[in-house]
Amino acid sequence: MNVKFSKTALPRTGTVIVFAAEGLELAESAQDLDLATAGQISRASKVADFTGKRDAILDIMAPNNSDLERIVLIGIGKPDDLTSYDAEKLGGKICGKLLQAKAAKAEILADAIPGLALNPAEFAARIASGARLRNYKFDKYKTKNDNKKQKLKEISVSCVEPAKAQRAYAAYDAVAQGVFLARDLVNEPPNELYPESFAKRAKELTKLGLKVEVLSEKQLRQRGFLALVGVGEGSVRDTLMVVMSWMGGKKGKKPVAFVGKGVTFDTGGISLKPGANMGDMKGDMGGAACVTGLMCALAARKAKVNAVGVIGLVENMPDAAAQRPGDIVKSLSGQTIEILNTDAEGRLVLADVLWYTQKRFKPQFMIDLATLTGAILVALGNEHAGLFSNSDELCERLSKAGNATGEKVWRMPLDKAYDKLIDCKVADMKNIGGRHAGSITAAQFLQRFVNEVPWAHLDIAGTAMSSPKTPINESWGSGYGVRLLNQLVADHYEK
C-alpha cells in the first residue's frame, strides 16, 4: 500500500475520512467539509445519533454539493486519552472500512483535533501505520481470488506537518516490514517453509545490512548441539541454526540478543500429536519468525543498537531414526537431558541456542520467544504471552512495551520448588515435569541454560498464531512480538 502525506486540503472526489472527538467536536478540516456539503455531516450525525465515541463510524454516501463518493466520519473519543496505539487501531478500522467498501484509495484528513494528546504529525503517522498493518493479506497460493481486488492500494494523509509525519511514518513502515515478514513466515505451508527455505529467507536480509550466518547440521553436530539436532533426527530435512547480526550501535558495546524457536513443523515426533488440527503446527516456528521480523525491522529503520537474533530451525517428524522417549542427549552446555516426551521439543532447541548465544555474544540481555506450551493457553488464553524472567527490570520494561503496542505480556512465576519437578535420576534433567505447571517447568528448564545473563522467556503459543483478530491484524499469523520488542529496544537500548 502506497502512503502519501500532504498539506491539508479538501478533496473533490473519491472517499474521504474525517475525525470527530466525543461530543461531536469536529476537526477543522471536517468543519470545512461540513460547510462545503451544506451541513451534510452535521445532519447525518444528528440522525444517526453519532457523538464521536471511540471507534464509532458514520458512513455518508454521495454527500450533497460534491463529487465525493462518500465521507466516513470516525469517532476518536476523548482526545486527551488517545494513545499512539489507539491511533493505530483507528487507522486499522479505517482500512477495514475501506476494504469492506472495496475502495482502492482514499484521502484521510488528519489535521489536529483540539486537545489531542498526540502531536499532529504523530497522529497522522500512526493512523497511516495502523492502516498499513491492517491491509496485510496472505493469499499468494490462491489462483482465483476476488479478495486480491479488495486491497487498499493508496491512502493520502493530509495534515499540518506532512514532512514531519512522513519522517515518523518511515520508522513505523520499517517495523511493518518486519511484522509482515513474521506473518508471512508463520502463514507459509510446511512444504514450502522448512529449515533450508527459512534460512534462505533470512539470508535475503543481508540487503538491509544484516550479517547472516547459517550453521549446517554437520557443523552443529561437530560443535555439540546435540539437543537441537536430536529433535530433527526423524526428518529428511537438515537442522540448521541462523545467526543474524545488526551492529548499528556504538562499536564494542554489548549487543542485545533475541532467540527464537523455529520448529517449522511439529508432529510431536514418536510422541505423536492427535491428528485434529495438526496442520496448525506449521506455526510452531512463531518465535523464530518474530526474531527474524524484528531483525528486519531494526535494520530497515537503521536502529542505533547492536543486536543479534539467533534461531534454531528444525522439523520434528516420526521416523525409524527419530529420538525416542527414554533417550538421553548431551546438550551444548554439557548437561544431559532425558527425553520423556518427544513433543516437548522446543525447549531442547532453545537449550542449545540460548547457551550458544550467551557464550558467544555475552549480551546485555537475552529474550527467547517460542510457541512452547499448550499450558500457557490454559493459563492466559490468547490475550497475553506468558513472561518468565530472572530480571525484574527486564520484566517491567517488557510489560510497558506490551501495553504501548497492544502486544501484552503477563509475568508468571519461576521458583526453585518448580525446578525440582524436572530433576532426573538418570540424567541432569528431564524434558517434562509432569501434568501440572507445564509452562513454568518449561521455563525452569530453559533457565538452566542462561547462567547469570538477564533473561526473559516469552511463551507465545496463544498469541503468535490463531490469535484473536484486532483492528490492525486479521491474519492467522499475527507477527506477535516484532512491535513489542522493537518498542523495548527503542525505549531503552538506543541511547
Show which residues are catalytic. Answer: 273, 347
First to last CA, the chain: 32
Q: Encode burial over 464-477: b for 16+ CB neighbours within 10 A, e otherwise.
A: bbbbeebbbbbbbb
Distance CA 495, CA 491 (A): 8
Euclidean distance between CA atoms 8 and 427, whole angstroms: 69
Owner of C-alpha cell 506468558? 386
Are 219 and 252 within 8 A, CB to CB?
Answer: no
Beta bridge partner(s), residue 262: 313
Rounded alpha-carbon distances, angstroms, from residue 87 to 131, 229, 320? 10, 45, 54
Q: Which three cell numbers stand for residue 285?
A: 516456528
262 with 198: CB under 8 angstroms?
yes
The distance of Cα 212 from the centroid of its chain, to the nearest Å, equals 21
Burial class (CB within 10 angstroms; exposed 0-12, middle 13-18, buried 19+) of 157: buried
- Which three cell numbers, joined as nine digits, stand for 392? 525484574
For 20, residues 6+ apart whose C-beta sits below 8 A from its C-beta are 26, 27, 30, 45, 50, 52, 73, 74, 75, 76, 113
Whether 287 contacts 371, CB under 8 Å: yes
Name the residue among 419, 448, 255, 435 with its Cα closest to residue 334.
Answer: 448
Residue 109: phi and psi, rounded to 5, are: -90, 100
Q: Are 141 and 189 in contact (CB under 8 A)?
A: yes
